[in-house]
Structure 1
Amino acid sequence: MSEFSLFFFGSQLLVAIAFGSGIFAFWQQQRSAMLKFWFISAVLNASHFGLLGQYEAALFVSLTAIRFLVAALYPRQCWMLLFMAGATLILLTTYSSPLNLLPYAAAMLGTFGSFLTRVGRVRLCMALGASIWILHNILVGSPVAVLMEIAFLLSNLMGFLRARRLATKMVAPGYSD
C-alpha cells in the first residue's frame, strides 16, 4: 500500500470518528459537554485535513478546536474576542478568493455561539454556521463534507426539538412522572 493510500485511509478514519463525535455533541443537553465533544471532533477533523495536505483548513479547524475547549472551560467574552481576532488573522494571511469568506463567516458565528450561555442560542449559531459550511462545500464540490454538515444540521435540529419537548413536559400543568 502506498504512503498516499495510508494517509488517505487514516484521514478518512479520523474524519469518521470526528463525524461521530460531532453528532454525539448535538445530543448533549449541557453546554460544556456539547463543546467538549465538538473539541474532540474538531481535533480529529483538523488532523484529517493535515493528513490530506490541506494545511490552511487544518489551521482553521485547529483554532476552532481550541476555541471549543476554552469556551467549555472559560466562557468569557474576552476569549471570544481573541478567537474572532485569530479567525480574522487567518483570513487575512490565507485569503485567496471570495470563497474564503464563507468559512470565515461560519467561524465567526461558531465563535460567537461558543461563548453564549444558553444552549438554544449555541445551537442556533451552530446551525447557521453549518448552513454556511454546506454552501461552501457545495461550491468547492465536496459531497461528503456536504452530507456531514447536513447531518450535523439535522442532528442539531433534533437535539433542539428534544430539549424543547423535555422543557415543555417539565413546565406543563399537571405534569407527573
Structure 2
Amino acid sequence: MPDISVSFALSQLLAALAFAGGIIAFQQRERAGMLKFWFVSALLNASHFAVLGQYEAALFVGLTAVRFLVAALSPRQRWMYCFLALSTLLIVLSYNNPLNLLPYLAAIVGTVGSFQKNVVVVRLLMAVGATAWIIHNLLVGSPVAVLMELAFLGSNLVGYVRSRKYAAN
C-alpha cells in the first residue's frame, strides 16, 4: 500500500468538500444561490491547491471564488473586465512555469463565461475552463480534483444536450 502523507490526504479531503459544494451549487434554482455555493466550493478548492503546494493555482481559484461572490451580488459587465485584469496581473506576477498557464486559461474563459447572457456560450466557455483544470489537476497529481472537474464537465455537457433538446421541441 502506498504511503499517503497527511497533507496529501487533507488536500484530497478539501477537494472532496469542494466537489460536494459544486454539486450542491448545481442543484440551486436561483443564480445568486448557485454562485454563493460556487464561492464556497472555490474557496475549498483553493485551500486544496495551497495544501498541495500549488500556490499559483490556489491564487487563481481564490480569485475565482471572489468572482463568484461578486457576480452573485453585482452581475455587472464592468466586473468582468476587472477580473480579467486581475487574472492577467496574477499570471504576470506569479508565473514560474508553463503549468501556470492552465489556471490562467481557466480563469480567463471562466470569467468571460460568467458574464455572458447566451447559455450556449456560457456552457462552451465553462467546458474549456473545466478541460484546462482537468489537465492541470492530472499534471499536479490530484485525483479527487480530476474527478470533480470531470463531473462538472459531464454535468455541463448533459445540461447542454438537455437544453438543445428543449429548444428543438
- State the shift of 1:96 in Å: 1.3
User: 1:17 aligns to what?
Assistant: 17
Question: How many residues are matched?
Answer: 165
Aligned residue in 1 for 2:136: 136
Residue in 1 that maps onto 2:106 = 106
Identity level (%): 64
Root mean square deviation, CA, Å: 2.4
Question: For residue 79 of structure 2, what is the amino acid of its counterpart?
Answer: W
Matching residue's letter, 1:147? L
Matched, 1:37 2:37: yes
Between stretches 139-148 and 80-89, larger displacement belongs to 139-148
CA 1:110–1:136: 2 relative to 1, 3 Å: same
**Preserved contact between residue 10 and residue 51 of structure 1 (Cα < 8 Å):** yes
Alpha-carbon distance change, 117 to 31 in structure 1, aligned in 2, over 3 angstroms? farther
Contact 2:12/2:144 (8 A) holds in 1: no
Instruction: Report the more deviating stretch, 67-76 or 93-102.
Output: 93-102
- TM (norm. structure 1) is 0.78
1:55 equivalent in alignment to 2:55: yes
Unaligned runs of 5+ residues in structure 1 are 173-177
Higher Rg of the two aligned structures: 1
**Once the two structures are superposed, what CA deviation does each residue of 1:76-123 show, in whole Å capped at 9, x if it has no partner?**
121111111111111011111223222211110001111123444322
Distance, in Å, in 2 between the alignment partners of 1:31 and 1:120 is 16
Q: Measure how far apart 1:8 and its partner are.
A: 4.2
